[in-house]
């Protein structure tokens, strides 16, 4: 089991922007709160089962899908590093990890 979870500044910013977008779009915090809860549940699941995500072409980096979003993460010893929170409907060429 993972002992510590850290979000990169990029991942924190992407998550914040997505949640703010949905508040503006729906004129309510309800959907953002539900999405945030799904994200937290996914992180808890990853903490318990770090290999649950789909492997990527980058060594030690995996993807967990949450609705239309991808959580890119890597496990370093007993720490989980959230690298990016990506809307899968975007142009994939914009996504650059490492």
> Whole-prediction pTM value?
0.87
Q: What residue ranges do the domains of the chain occupy?
A: 4-94
Q: Which residues pair with 1 in a beta bridge?
A: none
Q: How confident is the model at residue 97 (pLDDT cuts 50, 70, 90)?
A: low
How far apart (Å, rounded) are the C-alpha atoms in residues 98 and 17?
Answer: 21
84 versus 89: the higher-pLDDT residue is 84
* Average pLDDT over every residue of 51-69: 93
Evaluate the CA torsion angle 66, 38, 96, 17 in order and state its sign.
positive
Bridge-based pairing of strands 61-66 and 69-76 is: antiparallel
pLDDT at position 42 is 96
Helix, strand, coil proportions of the chain in percent (round to 5)? 45, 30, 25
* Domain 4-94 fold: YaeB-like fold (3.30.2310)
CB contact set of 87 (below 8 Å; sequence gap of 6+): 18, 68, 69
* Average pLDDT over every residue of 56-70: 93
Starting at the edge strand found earlier in the chain, the sheet holding 79-87 runs 4-7, 79-87, 69-76, 61-66, 54-55
């Amino acid at each position: 089991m993972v002992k510590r979870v850290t979000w990169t500044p990029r991942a924190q910013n992407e998550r914040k922007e997505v949640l703010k977008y949905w508040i503006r779009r729906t004129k309510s915090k309800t959907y953002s709160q539900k999405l945030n809860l799904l994200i937290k549940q996914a992180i808890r699941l990853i903490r318990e089962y770090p290999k649950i995500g789909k492997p990527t072409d980058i060594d030690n980096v995996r993807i967990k899908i949450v609705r239309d979003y991808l959580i890119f993460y890597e496990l370093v010893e007993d720490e989980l590093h959230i690298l990016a929170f990506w809307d899968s409907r975007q142009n994939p060429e914009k996504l650059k990890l490492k």
